[in-house]
Structure 1
């Protein structure tokens, strides 16, 4: 598919919605992401064909935003254009995933807000950690210990996914450039050939510790931050120890591997504290709510051993 330069179409849309044009793709991205969720978006009929053309813009940020706009509009006539984009899209997995959601909504003439809602996942995952910790402190059992360890690393990996998605979206918006290797790692993709010699994308598994270090370092670099996580102290050591426990109970080789000691719970707590501190030193958004809730759970003292 030959890409076109269709940014002017988005400028027209913004002009109709806001009363004036915006100068950069970044401003357009920010404008559409500021539209309140669940608000039905209405624009003039004559803009629709321009939006369909803009689906094939050279700029990935433009394509992604047009997909999101069409999903908000929820018009059946957009389906065939979205399907064409689905067949031609070659920019990682973020846009194809958005296209799939947009097609589903448009087929049913249903307005859908498909903009990135991953940040809310952090609160949900942290709430899981808090719930598991309180349950453990109320009734200390092996089941609750294992659940706490699992919840901590589910939250950690979820937080990392949110940071990755934010970096990818910001790169699409033109805020900074990523290397091909960085983009592939962020998308967790690798490439090889199938039996017929055609190139294909396959999932790429990233070990948790390496994944955390990569995302923290990349986030700091693209945002020109001097802050980075401390890997020389007790917190990172606890993280590695807790990760070994998670891996052991996830892939046990004997029944004894499922037993989690009190000391292992202690450094799992310390690992999560270190991770939250490192995360919020890079981006403080949500720190008070997330860290505050977890710290309250840590202070919960009603313990009943069984």
Structure 2
């Protein structure tokens, strides 16, 4: 890869990384604007913070939560394709782009939007990220898995999101204390996933840069040794003639 394409590639990675951080932070702020300190609050304080919310505030915070989850997940998948494309199968790369292969009636192969649930896309994002990024013990960082009590709250929360987005009766717009607490708990799990993932991306990028510098040092030594041997050979050749 020559300098210009490589520079564009690196610029694209940096831009995507900055965008992921900016989008996640902005949408976390949307959640915090409804319930201040929600993300950082102690787990024991969550029930009291969520119980006093009005119906409008409950719907607002739940919509903000899933806006953050879906948008940040999208940028995570974008990063995986851009930065780890060489590790992905063609089928996996298409799925991360939310596309699938389609064949028209005339036999032309194209792609079309992938029909998949938001929860399945989230599971895919977390799974592939864990396969692409190894733990960084020096930073106490490791990939997240879709497991544990907090993640399990995500499953019913997606159903609540769907219910208030497409209400069939007035009661569908009501979010109970338990449903709201589940959504907030799931959101806190997701926020930890994104923060840890950003740390892994940054840590591996720094590690790659250090390894690249070390390779350059080794190559420079090899080149210097080659130049020295070449000079010696040329000197001997001149003496023999």
TM range (shorter): 0.5 to 0.7
Q: How far is the alpha carbon of 1:285 from its aligned partner?
A: 7.3
**What residue is the counterpart of 1:222 in the other structure?**
132
1:175-204 deviations in Å (ceiling 9; x for gaps): x42101110111100121234332222111
Distance 1:195 1:215, change over 3 A: same
1:135-171 deviations in Å (ceiling 9; x for gaps): 9969722111111111101101111111111111113
Distance 1:138 1:131, change over 3 A: farther
Matched, 1:126 2:28: yes
**Counterparts of residues 266-277 of structure 1 (less than 5 Å):** 266-277=181-192
Q: Identify the structure with the greater helix proportion.
A: 2
1:40-95 deviations in Å (ceiling 9; x for gaps): xxxxxxxxxxxxxxxxxxxxxxxxxxxxxxxxxxxxxxxxxxxxxxxxxxxxxxxx
The number of residues matched between the two structures is: 183
Greater CA deviation, 181-190 or 133-142?
A: 133-142
Structure 1 or 2, whichever has the larger Rg, is 2
**Counterparts of residues 95-244 of structure 1 (less than 5 Å):** 115-116=15-16, 118-119=19-20, 120-134=22-36, 140-171=53-84, 176-225=86-135, 227-244=142-159
Q: Is the CA contact 1:225–1:282 (under 8 Å) kept in the aligned structure 2?
A: no
RMSD over aligned CA atoms reads: 3.0
Distance 1:141 1:166, change over 3 A: same
**What residue is the counterpart of 1:29 in the other structure?**
9
Secondary structure of residue in 2 paired with 1:284: helix
Q: Is the CA contact 1:220–1:228 (under 8 Å) kept in the aligned structure 2?
A: yes
- Where do 5+ consecutive residues of structure 1 fail to align? 1-6, 14-24, 36-114, 287-306
Q: Take 1:206 and 1:34, find their aligned partners in 2: how far apart are those partners?
A: 27
Secondary structure of residue in 1 paired with 2:82: helix
Secondary structure of residue in 2 paired with 1:200: strand
Which of 1 and 2 has higher RCO (CA within 8 Å, sep 6+)? 2
Distance 1:221 1:137, change over 3 A: closer
- Where do 5+ consecutive residues of structure 2 fail to align? 39-48, 137-141, 202-241
